[in-house]
Structure formats: structure tokens, C-alpha cells
């Protein structure tokens, strides 16, 4: 039996009224995570810049620009992802798709970028529709608990 979209989203995003026992992270762990992410994304920018140009000032400008963009937009993006955890799965699937494509290219098997971009765009469209559907079909909250045993007199 196939699961409905709501059941899948409920498993990923949780049901209203459920309490989480997640412990708040410490300041030190948050700072270490931010530093590691900045290093990873800065290295990504360096690798991209080296692949595109051979001039050092352009590479430096690319890295500085990438770090500035991360600092400016990280809060908004983190808030959106926190409200919609299924986006994490979408991002992980994109990383997997890109990784497989890079490995295939390294092994001499070319995959057209059009196929990759179409798959990613289609996935984003489906996720946007799911997010919109979740907003439209919010569960009904009763003021008093419903008891099916009790019959109206």
C-alpha cells in the first residue's frame, strides 16, 4: 500500500503537538559548525574559481564574495530549512546527483547538463507544490477533545 504525501511529510516534518527532546547546542559547537561550513564553502569557491580563471585577484574576489553572500543570506535560508526539513532531503539528493555526475564524467561517461538541470528543476517544483499543499491543508484543531463514544442527546 502506498503512503500518502501527508504521511511522508509528517514523518519528516513532524506532527503538531509532539514534543522534541532535542538539547540546545552550545555556543562553542555552533561556532565550530559555522567555521567548518565556511571553510568547506570557501574551498568550494576556490576550486570553482581555479577551474574558471587563472588570475589570483579574481579567485580572491570570488572567495570573498562567496563568504559575504553566506553571511548575508544564511539566516534566512536556515530559517526556511528549519520550517521545512524536507528541503534538507532535497539538497542532499542534489548533492548526490551532482556527485554521481562528476564521478561519471571522471570515468568518461558524459551526462548532458540539460538532464541534470531538468531533474533538479522538476524536484524543486514538486517540493514547492508540497510546501504549498501543506499550508493549504493544515490540520483542524478542535477546542475540545472529540469523543466518538458520547452521543448527542
Domain count, the chain: 2
143 domain-assigned: no
Same domain, 57 and 88: no
Residue 111 domain-assigned (yes or no): yes
pLDDT per position as a tens digit, 88-143: 888 888 888 888 888 888 899 988 889 989 999 999 999 999 888 877 766 667 67
Decide: 97 and 116 in contact? Cβ < 8 Å: yes
pLDDT in tens, 94-108: 888 888 888 888 899
Are residue 69 and residue 90 in the same domain, yes or no?
no
The answer to whether residues 111 and 93 belong to one domain is yes
- For residue 17, is it within any domain? no
Mean pLDDT of 40-58: 71
> What domain range is 37 assigned to?
25-74
Residues 97 and 132 occupy one common structural domain: yes
Q: Give the cell for residue 27.
A: 555556543
Give the count of beta carbons closer than 10 Å to the beta carbon of residue 82: 10
> What predicted TM-score, i.e. pTM, was given to this entire model?
0.51
Amino acid at each position: 500500500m502506498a503512503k500518502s504525501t501527508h504521511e511522508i511529510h509528517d514523518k519528516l516534518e513532524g506532527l503538531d503537538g509532539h514534543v522534541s527532546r532535542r538539547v540546545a547546542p552550545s555556543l562553542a559547537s555552533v561556532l565550530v559548525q559555522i567555521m567548518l561550513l565556511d571553510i568547506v564553502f570557501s574551498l568550494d569557491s576556490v576550486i570553482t574559481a581555479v577551474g574558471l580563471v587563472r588570475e589570483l585577484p579574481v579567485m580572491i574576489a570570488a572567495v570573498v564574495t562567496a563568504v559575504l553572500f553566506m553571511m548575508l543570506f544564511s539566516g534566512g535560508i536556515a530559517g526556511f530549512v528549519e520550517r521545512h526539513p524536507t528541503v534538507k532531503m532535497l539538497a542532499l539528493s542534489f548533492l548526490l546527483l551532482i556527485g554521481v555526475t562528476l564521478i561519471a564524467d571522471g570515468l568518461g561517461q558524459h551526462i548532458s547538463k540539460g538532464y541534470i538541470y531538468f531533474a533538479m528543476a522538476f524536484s524543486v517544483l514538486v517540493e514547492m507544490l508540497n510546501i504549498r499543499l501543506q499550508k493549504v491543508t493544515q490540520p483542524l484543531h478542535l477546542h475540545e477533545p472529540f469523543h466518538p463514544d458520547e452521543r448527542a442527546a
